[in-house]
Structure 1
Amino acid sequence: MNDIQRYLSLEMTLKPETIDIAGLIEDVCAEPTLAPLKHSGTLNIMTPMPDIKADARQLRMIFHVLLHNAWQYRRPDKPLQVRLSAVTIGDNVRFRIDDNGMGISPEYRPQVLEMFTRLVPHNERYPGTGMGLALVVKALRNLDSQLDIQDGIDGGTAVLFDLPLAR
């Protein structure tokens, strides 16, 4: 499925269910496109990861895009570090994915959330359509959340979003 089809498919009816986040992330990391992250980078999943209530298909896509972006936009001179944490705040869980990659300057953060936006030229090292974060934003909107971009590890990127705690 291409990115435009994926974007349009996010209009489908949501099927909220209780999701084991640790299991979902393990499944996402086992996908072939994320295999390099496990073999040449460090992914630290801070525990515990509370269960949440969300649409599994959209949540899987969110984590896949964010982890894939961490891998794709890593610095070539440093081993990749990715840290995933979750904190319960009231009835929600705040997820934070930090990396030590190239980072996104504050002035470009609103822009990268738009469709077809790329901050680096399209080439063999940086393939893609510029729709990844737009897909994440749309999926999070469907889940009544939003994406916040901050500074990550050593000038990398941190992305944060809240989702409802499973009760």
Structure 2
Amino acid sequence: MTTEVASNADAFAAARGLLDVLPQMVWQLGSQGQVQDVNGRTLRYSGRPREAFLGLRFAELIHPDDRTQVLADWHTLIAGGRPFQLSFRLCCNQGRYYWFLFQVQPLPTPSSNFAWLASGTIVQAQKQAEAELQRLNHTLEQHVEQRTAQLLRSNRSLEQFAYVASHDLREPLRTISSFVGLLRRKYQGQLDDQADRLIAMTVSAAERMNKMIDDLLAVSRIGQHPPFQPVNLQERVAAVLENLHVLIEDTGAVVEVGQLPVVVGDTSQLSQLFQNLIVNALKFQPPGRVPAVCIHAVSLDGMWQFRVEDNGIGIAPADFERIFGVFQRLHDRQTYEGNGIGLAIARSVIEEHGGTLWLESQLGEGTAFLFTLPEP
């Protein structure tokens, strides 16, 4: 035994009374990983006498699956001469392996070869928790993959429906509309009032059906768009208001538009979004009230938050989610026209652009639709 080793061994022996009561394993190791001394906790964990450790290389106690990597790490880390950590499975009592985390400290010696003091804490519970977390993550990833596959199948089904709606449904509807239109042109005024009314109702129903097909196709195509590009919403909203100028003039509406930003998205879909919200604001008004609509945006935590507010009839809290369903109407067609799909399209557009849509409202006092879009 060299003088350096003997000196360190004497120091370890002198401190054994303290080291033996520690809850951690404590080893004194040579530069090549040979065990020079151990504390009492090591003996209790291993079930071996102290003599069985002396001169043994600690790598012999490591699980075979961990040994190669741990030895490679050991030789790399001791070259730095600084404290480091190692985690591995160690053979304990009755040949069972448990996970330990070792804190390794260099011991001062007169020569350039360090001795090392290693203290090991059992981390079996943490490792089991990590393994369980990895298992759960793997299970979650599998569920996500399965759900993604289901969504892809649903999207394909929706695309197939869009094809059917645009071809197979339109053709008989076109035929019905043509024949009813022919009846209307040829016989209107020649039959009794009830016949004229029935023909008018059939024409109106065919027109509504055609509009419903258009709306369903719009919903199905929201996920099908060219790559997003910068969209100047100030210009888009101005164009929407120009398209709605007849409705605005007829209702006498006052529309106030604040400063709106440039976002990244699909021009057509974002235009449709604002048109649907503005049309709703103008349409759902109590008799005799002049519509007032306010549109503005603020920047919050990397998102633009928009607010489209009106002074209309308002919405009851119980209906806040219902109104976003496809073909969901709160009022009959005689009172307020429409197919009940505009807000479903609006929410789908917002979600496709990475935002959220919600509302604030009180019956009789108006409604504010709020939505977010990411800042570029």
TM-score (norm 2): 0.41
SS at match of 2:309: strand
Q: How does 1:76-155 map to 2 (within 5 A)?
A: 76-123=287-334, 125-151=335-361, 155=365
Aligned-pair identity (%):
24
Letter in 2 for 1:159: F
Contact 1:112–1:118, Cα closer than 8 Å, also in 2: yes
2:243 is the alignment partner of 1:31: yes
Distance 1:22 1:90 in 2: 21
Per-residue CA distance 1:121-142 (angstroms, 9 max, x = gap):
012x522111111111111111
2:231 is the alignment partner of 1:13: no
Distance 2:296 2:374 in 1: 15
Distance 1:83 1:104 in 2: 17
Letter in 2 for 1:148: W
The 1:70–1:128 alpha-carbon spacing in structure 2 relative to 1, beyond 3 Å, is same
By how many angstroms is 1:14 displaced? 4.5
Contact 2:225–2:266, Cα closer than 8 Å, also in 1: no
Letter in 1 for 2:255: L
Contact 1:29–1:38, Cα closer than 8 Å, also in 2: no
Which one has the bigger strand percentage? Answer: 1
Per-residue CA distance 1:40-67 (angstroms, 9 max, x = gap):
1100112x22211111111011001000
Which stretches of structure 1, 4 residues or more, deviate above 6 A after TM superposition?
Answer: none
Q: Which residue of 2 aligns with 1:68?
A: 279
By how many angstroms is 1:83 displaced? 0.4
Distance 1:127 1:143 in 2: 28
Letter in 2 for 1:88: S
The 1:106–1:14 alpha-carbon spacing in structure 2 relative to 1, beyond 3 Å, is farther
Number of aligned residue pairs: 163
Distance 2:309 2:225 in 1: 30
Rg comparison, structure with higher value: 2
Letter in 2 for 1:120: H
Distance 1:165 1:82 in 2: 24
Letter in 1 for 2:222: L
Distance 2:253 2:286 in 1: 11
By how many angstroms is 1:151 displaced? 2.2
SS at match of 2:333: coil
By how many angstroms is 1:35 displaced? 2.8
SS at match of 2:315: coil
**Aligned-residue CA RMSD (Å):** 1.9
Distance 1:145 1:57 in 2: 17
Contact 1:54–1:163, Cα closer than 8 Å, also in 2: no
Distance 1:43 1:15 in 2: 31
Distance 1:11 1:49 in 2: 25
Distance 1:37 1:147 in 2: 25
TM-score (norm 1): 0.90
Contact 2:263–2:373, Cα closer than 8 Å, also in 1: yes
Task: Point out which structure has higher relative CO (alpha carbons under 8 A, 6+ apart).
Answer: 1
Letter in 2 for 1:147: L
SS at match of 2:318: helix
Contact 1:75–1:100, Cα closer than 8 Å, also in 2: no
Which one has the bigger helix percentage? Answer: 2
Distance 1:13 1:19 in 2: 14
Distance 2:239 2:320 in 1: 29
Contact 2:354–2:374, Cα closer than 8 Å, also in 1: no
Q: Select 2:266's aligned residue among 52, 55, 60.
A: 55
